[in-house]
A and B are shown apart, each in its own frame.
Chain A
Amino acid sequence: MNSSHLNPSSSLKSRFTTRFLRALTRINARKPISPSSPREIFQRYRRIKVAADKSMASSVRSRRTWSRATLWKLRSRSCLQLASLGRRRSVKTSTITSRQAIMKKTSHEIENKTTTEEDHQDRFVGQADKLRELVPGGEAMDLCNLLDETAHYIKCLTTQVQLMRKIVDFYSL
């Protein structure tokens, strides 16, 4: 952690922190606060969560599938919010169909796997599906790359959690 302080411009932590704090200030500045309303708070929560995810994905750039998927999701979501209702529907359906196509491919792979391996592998494969849901962008990947992405994703998530925790603690002074 100290090393990142010494060289703040390069590490994932520093990148994430700068972006996230910038987003936080923006969110804070946007709303002259009416904190009592739970809805407001909820909205802020959503925004902050989005900001956290986005800043983390931006720190990783597009080097990773999950970061690309996250950024894509966030951007499409913002597009959806701006778009009209009709357009929203079409975008959603296209998303769904592409997802289905991707799922078909992965299910085919899974099928190959189950025919050649045991029941234990079936369970394994089922869990892999779960993992695919968890990791953004994981639907389109075979197991090998999925595990890669998961490892990197876990690393980034832990970083994110640590830094956010520190920010919270700092704020709650």
Chain B
Amino acid sequence: MEKDMVFMHEGLDRTAAEQPTWSSSSLGMEMQTNELNCAIEQVGSCFFNLNWDNSMDQSDRFKSALSSMVSSPAASNAGSALPASGDNVMIRELIGRLGNICNSGDISPQSFIKPNNNTHSSNTSYYTTPLNSPPKLSLSMMDSQIRGSLNVPGLGNQLPNHPSLAPFSTDPGFAERAARFSCFSSSRNRLGLTEAEFSQRLVPTMDSVKLSSHQSIKVTGSQANAPESNNNSQQERNFGFDKKISMLTRSSSPENAEFGDSKEESSVSEQIPGGALGNSSIKSQSHANARKRKSIPRGKAKETPSTAAAEAKVAAQNDESTAKRGKQDGAAANAKEKTEQNGNSKAANDGNQKPSNENSKPSEPPKDYIHVRARRGQATDSHSLAERVRREKISERMKFLQDLVPGCNKVIGKAVMLDEIINYVQSLQRQVEFLSMKLSSVNPRMDINMEALLSKDIFQSLGSLPHALSSMDSSTPAFPFRYQPQQGLPLNSGISNNIETQFSMNPLNAALHKTHGLQLPPIDGFTDASPQVASIWEDDLQSIVQMGFGQNQTQSYQGSKAVGQVKIEL
């Protein structure tokens, strides 16, 4: 029942003092029976008291609470009138999904059916299995509990849903979702949302989870009955948490086939399948772009195999550690208002910040939007949120570029980094021009068959190839093969001087000579004498390349010095 879920989640976040307020804070749904209430409170206390360290104790307590909870619905089933069959369906499916997430194949769908047919004893036995797998414990407990409560009442209705659960049970991504739920709750704390809000939102979150799975491409058929009810209920409850869940569900969407272009791990929050909580089936979450986030919550879950309730408590402690992860969650739109319909309000708020993101997913019929959440202590204005997300993305990419561009590790700051990047790109382009010029002068001599060339191990280093080089011709103009901007390639004149004599090494050597004359005087004799000038040249070129990036001259000098022993390795 929804109420059960609500209370469970409320228990997640409430302190002991606030426990009595559960009944008052119910979402307007009636309690079925007092017995049920007691059971729920028990469960809530179990949730609440759990901490990450006492997994086994908590799980035992939880087990007992769950069994009592399960038994109470069974007892009250006869007399209770469930609020809405649609809710039941939703909750059931949600539980199914959760259970599948948690067990990820450990427990076949058949086992889910067992509680349906049997008493709570089977439920208890079901509980034992998740205990063996701590990471999945948190949700599996909840799941089985809810399932137990629902299965008994909804005997008839449940069976059709089981086939729908089958795909989930095999979904490896469900464990991740469980983990993500934990991350979810932790991130919630970071967001500074009240616990009441969280509990309120978690329910629609669950619904949205169901909704997302409903809408998943792979799980369409058997859940045809569910989506309608889900949609209705979701529209009724206009909670901002839909966004959170959608964020979670969507973070994995990049792996969808439709988002083939969004493979970069940096584009985490962008890969939102859009529309109603994502086409990303829960399965796809396993491939989430949020790989970083995936590992972190999972690690967390492993350390602390208690339920999600306890996670919320621990989240406060883990704020700093999750701050970085929260980056991937994005900055949530501040309020519930944004989550009216999936993405419409969000699109409006994001304005022109995310048009490219939406346009980049034309294949998704529902509109794609970015879920972001305001971080604790930060402005929650929609524009600033979007700005923050944008900035984070940019800094992510800058870091990636830092790895690509050599010599950028020492540099900190976007402007200087950009300078380096620009220099590097310019130098690479010039190198290409230079090499093509070289090739154009080399080619007349070549009779080598192309196939032979290819069949030869061209990919291996050519260090063994000796190069016969002519004496340097100092009359050639300086070859602008440096990063410091110089004049354009005066190749024509340079080439024409040397074309009759030796091959194109001359201008290169001359340039090298001049370049080194400026910076590495002792090299001259080196290059004149050595028959391995080509290797020197190659290494020197590379060292020149490095010089452009601020590496000290001694370093490049040493690199050149060692050229005699160094083969060309490309």
Verify if B321 is at the interface (C-beta below 8 Å from A): no
With beta carbons under 8 angstroms apart, the residue of A49, A63, A150 that contacts B401 is A150
A9 to B269, CA, bound (A): 34
- Interchain CB contact under 8 A, B459 and A41: no
Interface size of B by CB at 8 A reads: 68
Interface string of A1-29 (1 = CB under 8 A from B): 11011001000011001100110110110
- Interchain CB contact under 8 A, B443 and A164: no
Interface string of A67-101 (1 = CB under 8 A from B): 00000000000000000000000000000000000
Verify if B465 is at the interface (C-beta below 8 Å from A): yes
- Interchain CB contact under 8 A, B568 and A172: no
- Interchain CB contact under 8 A, A164 and B436: yes
- Interchain CB contact under 8 A, B454 and A151: no
Given A161-B431, A172-B442, also A48-B436 (CB < 8 A): yes
CB distance from B454 to the nearest CB of A (A): 7
CB distance from A68 to the nearest CB of B (A): 12
Verify if B393 is at the interface (C-beta below 8 Å from A): yes
Which A residues touch B462, using CB under 8 A? Answer: 166, 169-170
With beta carbons under 8 angstroms apart, the residue of B415, B419, B421, B453 that contacts A170 is B453
Given A49-B436, A144-B394, A164-B439, also A154-B404 (CB < 8 A): yes
Verify if B424 is at the interface (C-beta below 8 Å from A): yes
With beta carbons under 8 angstroms apart, the residue of A44, A124, A131, A150 that contacts B443 is A44
- Interchain CB contact under 8 A, B397 and A166: no
With beta carbons under 8 angstroms apart, the residue of A22, A28, A153, A165 that contacts B446 is A28
Verify if A130 is at the interface (C-beta below 8 Å from B): yes
With beta carbons under 8 angstroms apart, the residue of B419, B438, B500 that contacts A168 is B438
- Interface with A: B118-126, B187-195, B488-496, which one? B488-496
Which B residues touch A38, using CB under 8 A? Answer: 492-493, 495-496, 499
Interface size of A by CB at 8 A reads: 69
A30 to B218, CA, bound (A): 55
Interface string of A138-173 (1 = CB under 8 A from B): 000011110110110111011011111111111111
- Interchain CB contact under 8 A, B454 and A21: yes
- Interchain CB contact under 8 A, B457 and A5: yes
Q: Which of A51, A153, A169 has the most CB of B within 10 A?
A: A169
Verify if B348 is at the interface (C-beta below 8 Å from A): no
Verify if A57 is at the interface (C-beta below 8 Å from B): no
A27 to B442, CA, bound (A): 12
A23 to B261, CA, bound (A): 29
- Interchain CB contact under 8 A, B467 and A128: no
Q: Which residue of B lies closest to A128 (CB)?
A: B418
Given A28-B443, A151-B397, also A116-B387 (CB < 8 A): yes
- Interchain CB contact under 8 A, B261 and A144: no
- Interchain CB contact under 8 A, B261 and A165: no
Q: Which of A14, A17, A147, A158 has the most CB of B within 10 A?
A: A147
Given A134-B429, A144-B390, also A166-B458 (CB < 8 A): yes
Interface string of A22-54 (1 = CB under 8 A from B): 101101100001011010011011011101110
CB distance from B135 to the nearest CB of A (A): 34
- Interchain CB contact under 8 A, A49 and B432: yes
Verify if B437 is at the interface (C-beta below 8 Å from A): yes
Q: Which residue of B lies closest to A169 (CB)?
A: B462
Given A45-B436, A131-B418, A169-B462, also A148-B264 (CB < 8 A): yes
Verify if B356 is at the interface (C-beta below 8 Å from A): yes
Verify if B16 is at the interface (C-beta below 8 Å from A): no
- Interchain CB contact under 8 A, B435 and A153: no
Q: Which of B393, B394, B431, B435 has the most CB of A within 10 A?
A: B435
Query: Could you list some 28 contacts between A and B, CB below 8 A?
Result: A1-B570, A5-B460, A17-B459, A21-B454, A24-B443, A33-B443, A36-B499, A41-B441, A42-B491, A48-B439, A49-B437, A123-B415, A127-B419, A144-B356, A147-B400, A154-B401, A154-B404, A154-B421, A154-B425, A161-B431, A161-B432, A161-B435, A165-B538, A166-B458, A168-B435, A169-B462, A170-B462, A171-B442
Q: Which 7 A-B pairs have the closest CB atoms?
A: A147-B397, A44-B440, A157-B428, A127-B418, A45-B440, A49-B436, A164-B435
